[in-house]
Structure 1
Amino acid sequence: MNTEADPDIVIYPRKNKNEKDIPEEGILFVNPTEASIELNKWQEKGAEQRFLFNSSLYVQEGEKFICGPAIGAPMAALTLEKLIALGAKKIILFGWCGALSRQLQVGDILVPHLALSGEGTSRYYELAGSPAGPDEVLRSKITMLLNKNGLEVHDGCVWSTDAVYREKRSFLTILHKEQGVDAIDMEFSALCSVARFRGVSFAAVLVVSDEIWGGSWRPGFSSKVFKKRTADARQLLINNIIGR
């Protein structure tokens, strides 16, 4: 883990005096929908709620944690930094993405292998070398789990943005054709950068919520297939990956 030896840095992420350590493994649900559903379930089961100033955090039996929401790169990065300071070492992002590739449709599950940054957070965590990506061991484990349980997994490259209302068709076409971008979200690239900088394992599961290839935007947030796939994938991750 990067120990922040740079004396020019003003604020270091840290565990405060009265804060407890959290388990090493957990899931970050960036969207309010998933976060609310899973946090409420854990609360009903008696999981311990911990303070997290910009989000919600629950710890179960000292084995695993879930937290969220944390929409957008800056908020998600702040959350991940704090989780790492509290002891997290293996984190899975669960979120949504918009499909740029015609091979992806609403409800498809993407476990991306590469991140490209269109957000403003990653550049503060830049390290020499190739573009940031997830931990391949964790990514492979997630892929095998989902496939084994009947959920087809797609691989690909995700570009993260800060401004979903400023996406232009011409630019999205360039991203897809020239840089191989398959989908867009708001957090993945920043969290890859933070995780690599801090030396922790990180991977993501993104469910396609809308299609933005072609001449029109096709939202699928309320579709049955989207809701079912998100629920199925969430439950598999909680029951089989984290805490094992």
Structure 2
Amino acid sequence: MAEPRFIEPVCPEGLSLPPKGFFILTSRDFWSLARGLCQRPKSLRLPYCRIVRQKEGFLVGPSLSAPHAIMVLETLKACNIKEVTIFGWCGSLSEDISPGEIFLPTEGLSFEGVSRHYPDSLSRPWHEGQKQLKSLLIRAGFQVKEGPVASTDAPFRETIAFVSELKKRGVGALDMEISSLMQVGQFLDLKISCVLLVTDRLGDKWEDHREKTQKIGEKVVRLIWKDLCRS
């Protein structure tokens, strides 16, 4: 029996959701897709977060950092959803993973503070969902890489020693949310699939890839949404 909590996640009154949806973490990509839909996004009663409900699926976002993203996921679970595809950004830790490519996480390493509150679960995505996403993206002509991802709450504390240790452990990318979303997804018995757009590479000199990655991000979220509504 689960231990009682002081605050239980509650589905907003009157909100009925289809069982599967698309959670876009990044504001730019969420609004680029949401503005193209016929329905005005509604509040999810969480700061900054909006939701669009359609017959085939729902669109929710944006969200920044693991704590906020997990509040969204817990709220969605309270609305009895079953399956979520998540899109976000990451930074590459490898010369073999370039900005503009797509990174599909195989597992997560937690350097954020949320995952430890959801013990006895693994930070891994839904295998079948990742397989389907990989096939979809490759067919559409995107460059796809796979591997472990690490998530941190402290992007300004990414030291040389920290990054070197991640590379030794085979981590290919770094973000702020995905490890927690995969682990909490397993804890809540949700099917979680994850797609990350590589927007930059961690190194001595930052290079601006915003124009390139903006176009790719728009194409990717539209592709995933179209596939979700068709399936």
Q: TM-score range by the shorter chain?
A: over 0.9
Q: Kindly report which structure 2 residues correspond to 1:94-173, keeping only aligned pairs within 5 A, or say none.
A: 94-127=87-120, 131-173=122-164
Tell me if structure 1 keeps the 8 A contact 2:25–2:63: yes
Residue 48 of structure 1: how far off its partner (Å): 5.9
For normalisation by structure 1, the TM-score amounts to 0.88
Secondary structure at the counterpart of residue 149 of structure 2? strand
Tell me if structure 1 keeps the 8 A contact 2:89–2:199: yes
Distance (whole Å) between structure 2 residues aligned to residue 91 and residue 221 of structure 1: 28
Distance (whole Å) between structure 2 residues aligned to residue 19 and residue 127 of structure 1: 33
Distance (whole Å) between structure 1 residues aligned to residue 3 and residue 178 of structure 2: 28
Residue 173 of structure 1: how far off its partner (Å): 0.9
Choose from 23, 32, 45 the match for 2:18: 23
Distance 1:235 1:84, change over 3 A: same
* Alignment-derived partner of residue 60 in structure 2: 67
Residue 150 of structure 1: how far off its partner (Å): 1.0
Secondary structure at the counterpart of residue 156 of structure 1? strand
Tell me if structure 2 keeps the 8 A contact 1:99–1:105: yes
Structure 1: segments with no counterpart, 5+ residues:
none
* Alignment-derived partner of residue 192 in structure 1: 182
- List per-residue Cα deviations over 1:8-60 (Å, max 9, x = no partner): 422222325x3322011111111111122122222xx1x26443012100012
Choose from 165, 187, 194 the match for 1:174: 165
Distance (whole Å) between structure 2 residues aligned to residue 142 and residue 124 of structure 1: 29
Distance 1:242 1:185, change over 3 A: farther
Distance (whole Å) between structure 2 residues aligned to residue 219 and residue 158 of structure 1: 21
Tell me if structure 2 keeps the 8 A contact 1:209–1:219: no
Aligned residues: 229
Distance (whole Å) between structure 1 residues aligned to residue 207 and residue 44 of structure 2: 32
Tell me if structure 1 keeps the 8 A contact 2:32–2:218: no
Aligned residues with identical type, % of pairs: 30
For normalisation by structure 2, the TM-score amounts to 0.93
* Alignment-derived partner of residue 6 in structure 1: 2
Q: Kindly report which structure 2 residues correspond to 1:29-108, keeping only aligned pairs within 5 A, or say none.
A: 29-42=24-37, 45=38, 47=39, 49-54=41-46, 55-60=49-54, 62-108=55-101
* Alignment-derived partner of residue 204 in structure 1: 194
* Alignment-derived partner of residue 231 in structure 1: 218
Residue 101 of structure 1: how far off its partner (Å): 1.1
* Alignment-derived partner of residue 228 in structure 2: 241
Tell me if structure 1 keeps the 8 A contact 2:33–2:218: no
Tell me if structure 1 keeps the 8 A contact 2:94–2:173: yes
The amino acid across from 1:58 in the alignment is V
Distance 1:242 1:114, change over 3 A: farther
Distance 1:220 1:95, change over 3 A: farther
The amino acid across from 1:230 in the alignment is G
Distance (whole Å) between structure 1 residues aligned to residue 229 and residue 158 of structure 2: 35
Residue 217 of structure 1: how far off its partner (Å): 3.6
Distance (whole Å) between structure 2 residues aligned to residue 97 and residue 141 of structure 1: 21
The amino acid across from 2:139 in the alignment is K
The amino acid across from 2:117 in the alignment is Y
Distance (whole Å) between structure 1 residues aligned to residue 18 and residue 205 of structure 2: 40
Structure 2: segments with no counterpart, 5+ residues:
none
Residue 63 of structure 1: how far off its partner (Å): 1.4
